[in-house]
Amino acid sequence: MKGLTKHSDTEWRIEPTGAMRVPVVIFASEALIRDIDDKVIEQAINVAGLPGIVGAAYAMPDAHWGYGFPIGGVGAFDADAGGIVSGGGVGFDICCGVRTLHTGLDRAAVLAVQKELADALYYSVPVGVGSTGAIRLDHKGMDAMLEGGAAWAVGEGYGRPEDLARIEEQGRMAGADPSQVSDQAKQRQQQEMGTLGSGNHYLEVQAVTEIYDAQIAAAFGLRIDDAMVSIHCGSRGLGHQIGTEYLKRMAVAAPKHGINLPDRELACAPIKSQLGQAYLGAMRAGINCALANRQIITHLARRVFDEFFGTDLELLYDVSHNTCKLEEHVVDGRRRQLYVHRKGATRAFGPGHPDLPPDLRRVGQPVLIGGTMGTASYILVGTEQGMQLAFGSACHGAGRALSRHAATRRWHGRAVQDELASRGIVVRSPSARGLAEEAPGAYKDVSEVVLVAERAGLARRVARLEPLLCIKG
């Protein structure tokens, strides 16, 4: 942590030295900064040296070691200043994100059928490594999905048109180019639509246990004891294949573009290059894949809730945390078009932003923060201050404190499941190892993470949600 200086109770900086073009800014408390991996510092310094970076290389309070960029990393690049796009700055699970829905029920209604509801959701939503769904896409259908995203899914009968207003990009990322997605990536996705996958992905039924801002909570339709559904997943095999292929291509092409990579995992290409444009087209197709995937899973969950309760699920919001987006931001008093990479960082636009739906624009964007299956998740709201601090970005979850391998040495899946059951949390998963990897103790304190985000001004806490049942990969 050489060169790291404290600027406030929640902000730490490393000023530019050597190849760095901008400072590194880390949002953390004393407790979080003490536990941060030195590799995160090294990766953030490397990001700060990439061509065309603007402002600073940022690390969110949940930052931990990742591939190239730290997870929890944010970097914005100006194409007109030779800026780059990096596959490592987006990640392999393109457009992984969280979708939260109202059930119209309270905690008691869910608890009355808790185990039966968990079983029904588990058998309705395919989950786990290599899981496949009932949807089979041919070549034409695949390309239509990659161009249309959640809007395509709604058109196919998986949801309602009004869902789209509450989804980032209104459910469809413009500029997607399915022709830049390989046949192998498409083949991997042919049977994976409407599936959760594995790792930290989940479908949870949660209860609102605390309200921090009554006015914003009312605007979001949140009340104490409300039962909510949260879905956390991304672009599955297609996104991973896109990341794998383009990172290799970028690493090979870097010398031709005069890019000296301090870490091969930071492989990137100039935004205006043919390779940079090809990746953006493929990555945007990956975004649409994830949006369509969460839309289909919503449809499957709605069928279960209709069967149990005769009720519907109303979408609060859907926002991703592994993307690169072209956005307008004010830097040094001047509006600039920037390619903002958020890897394990959630978009958090403040009040008045034109990209927000009209009924939320006055208060700001819901910022959905996934916790662990044994602690809590949070709903925050974007702030005007956050737009200035880190390009409208916030944390995305608790952040790992232990690697998956270390977690499996410390915990056993069945013991984790039993311990959660003793606390009234029902978990369904096909993988005991997966449960061990995702043991709550393997993560940082999500309450501390979101409190730091609030104190730093990145976003403001609105509500805390605790799990009642979890369907886990």
Domain ranges for the chain? 5-83+93-401+443-472
Counting other chains too, the contacts that 38-45 makes at CB distance below 8 Å and 24 or more residues apart are 38/1, 39/65, 39/70, 40/64, 40/65, 40/70, 40/72, 41/1, 41/4, 41/14, 43/68, 43/69, 43/70, 43/73, 43/263, 44/14, 44/70, 44/73, 45/14, 45/20
Asked if 394 and 348 touch (Cβ cutoff 8 Å), the reply is yes
Class of domain 5-83+93-401+443-472: alpha beta
Binding residues for Mn(2+), by number, are: 93, 201, 232, 321
Q: Where are the beta strands (DSSP E) in 79-178?
A: 84-86, 97-106
Maximum Cα interatomic distance, the chain, rounded to a whole number of Å: 63
Using the CB atoms, write b or e for 116-152: b if 16+ within 10 Å. ebbbbbbebbbbbeebebebebeeeebbbbbbbbbbb
Residue 447: how many CB atoms within 10 A of its CB? 15
**Residue 83: helix, strand or coil by DSSP?**
coil
Binding residues, by number, are: 93, 200-204, 232, 321-322, 370-373, 377, 396-399, 472
- pLDDT at residue number 3: 86
Rounded-to-5 percentages of helix, strand, coil across the chain: 40, 25, 35
Start-to-end CA distance of the chain, whole Å, equals: 35
396 is catalytic: yes
| Token couple for 47 | 């990001």
Pairing between β-strand 226-233 and β-strand 334-343 as defined by DSSP bridges: unpaired
Which residue out of 139, 299, 396, 412 is catalytically annotated? 396
The H or E element that residue 203 is part of is strand 202-211
Q: Cα–Cα distances in Å, from 302 out to 143, 288, 308?
A: 26, 21, 10
| Token couple for 440 | 């709550």
**Residue 95: helix, strand or coil by DSSP?**
coil
Binding residues for GMP, by number, are: 200-204, 321-322, 370-373, 377, 396-399, 472
**Sign (positive or negative) of CA dihedral 28, 65, 72, 58:** positive
Q: Which residues contact 385 (CB under 8 A, 6 or more apart)?
A: 350, 457, 458
- pLDDT at residue number 2: 67
Nearest partner of 263 among 39, 13, 12, 17, judged by Cα: 39
The H or E element that residue 226 is part of is strand 226-233
Per-residue confidence in pLDDT tens, the chain, 473 aa: 668 999 999 999 999 999 999 999 999 999 999 989 899 999 999 999 999 999 999 999 999 999 999 999 999 999 999 999 999 999 999 999 999 999 999 999 999 999 999 999 999 999 988 888 899 999 999 999 999 999 999 999 999 999 999 999 999 999 999 999 999 999 999 999 999 989 899 999 999 999 999 999 999 999 999 999 999 999 999 999 999 999 999 999 999 999 999 999 999 999 999 999 999 999 999 999 999 999 999 999 999 999 999 999 999 999 999 999 999 999 989 999 999 999 999 999 999 999 999 999 999 999 999 999 999 999 999 999 999 999 999 999 999 999 999 999 999 999 999 999 999 999 999 999 999 999 999 999 999 999 999 999 999 999 999 999 999 98
CA 172 to CA 174: how far, in whole Å? 6
Pairing between β-strand 24-27 and β-strand 11-14 as defined by DSSP bridges: antiparallel
